[in-house]
Amino acid sequence: MTQIAPNAAPNTNEPVDQTVGPWKEAWRSFRKNKIAVVGAIIVVFFILLAFIGPLIVSQGINEQQLSQRLQAPSADHWFGTDDFGRDIFSRVVHGARLSLMVGFLSVIGSVIVGSLLGIIAGYYGRFVDTVISRLFDIILAFPSILLAIAIVSILGPSLKNALIAIGIINIPNFGRLIRSKVLSVKQEEYITAAKAIGMSDKRLLFSHVLPNSMTPVIVQGTLAIASAIIEAAALGFLGLGAQAPQPEWGKMLADARIYLINAPWTMIFPGLAIMLTVLGFNLMGDGLRDALDPKMKN
């Protein structure tokens, strides 16, 4: 009989456990989605543009040269100049920071407030759920852009107030999403076991219920950033968002609309910036939904 030495090397031909975590699996699924990867590349490009773009552009955003007003795109002015002779390329680059700031901050605020209200409504139910759910229904009863216009009209036109208004109108979307997820999560056995050992509601909510309810919020948050950028541009176009001379994309479109025929580049490039940014977030959001939602997987 053949004996195996105690210190013999392990058999490398034995099968290795290939188990991967859910987030690693989601990342693999996301990478396989070429359209989603393109969207992520667009988003990363504009994020980098927002951070490092203002450091490398040579023209000042408010540097007026009336002798060069409404100049077509050229080697000196890649995107041309506006009616004040300002370099449009510099203003579009600086506008990326403002638009992304509004998109991210408004959605972060919506996620925080909406998640807190949604988790309270879904976990405690009854009267608390009724009050919070009816509050969401009231907000959703108004068209989002009209409600945002009303809020900014009350607070006063400014980029800060536009950010607040956009955050408020998106709260019900996250609140209802979290509420529905919490209603299913709180029925799980591990939640029942946590209650049985006397875990407090606060610890239970923030240690178990909320972390297991956040997957759909990640997807919705990505798509909501795209909507927030459009809403900020709409408010800026109406004169209720960023005020002159801030280089916000919607405000740039509003200032350039009378030059659409004679100097179309004054509107084309800010419009393209809005379109590409929103497209990037939408494509990436769709890819995240396919990667994170078990129902979307084959």
Domain boundaries, the chain: 55-61+74-296
What's the pLDDT score for residue 279?
94
Tokens of 229: 């950028």
**239-243-249 Cα angle (round to 5):** 80
Calpha distance 37→20 (Å, rounded): 21
What's the pLDDT score for residue 197?
77
Tokens of 236: 């800026």
Class (C level, CATH) for 55-61+74-296: mainly alpha
What's the pLDDT score for residue 53?
80
Over residues 150-172, the pLDDT tens digits come to 999 999 998 899 999 999 999 99
Residue with tokens 């990640």: 218
Alpha-helical segments (H) within 156-244: 159-185, 189-196, 201-204, 215-237
Tokens of 78: 């890649």
What's the pLDDT score for residue 21?
62
What's the pLDDT score for residue 17?
43
What's the pLDDT score for residue 82?
86
Task: Decide if 230 contacts 278 (C-beta within 8 A).
Answer: yes
Identify the segments of the chain with pLDDT beneath 70.
Answer: 1-23, 58, 201, 293-298
What's the pLDDT score for residue 235?
92
DSSP H/E element including 289: helix 265-292
- How far is C-alpha 56 from the geometric centre of its chain's CA atoms? 26
What's the pLDDT score for residue 294?
53
- How far is C-alpha 47 from the geometric centre of its chain's CA atoms? 12
Calpha distance 135→83 (Å, rounded): 46
What's the pLDDT score for residue 16?
43
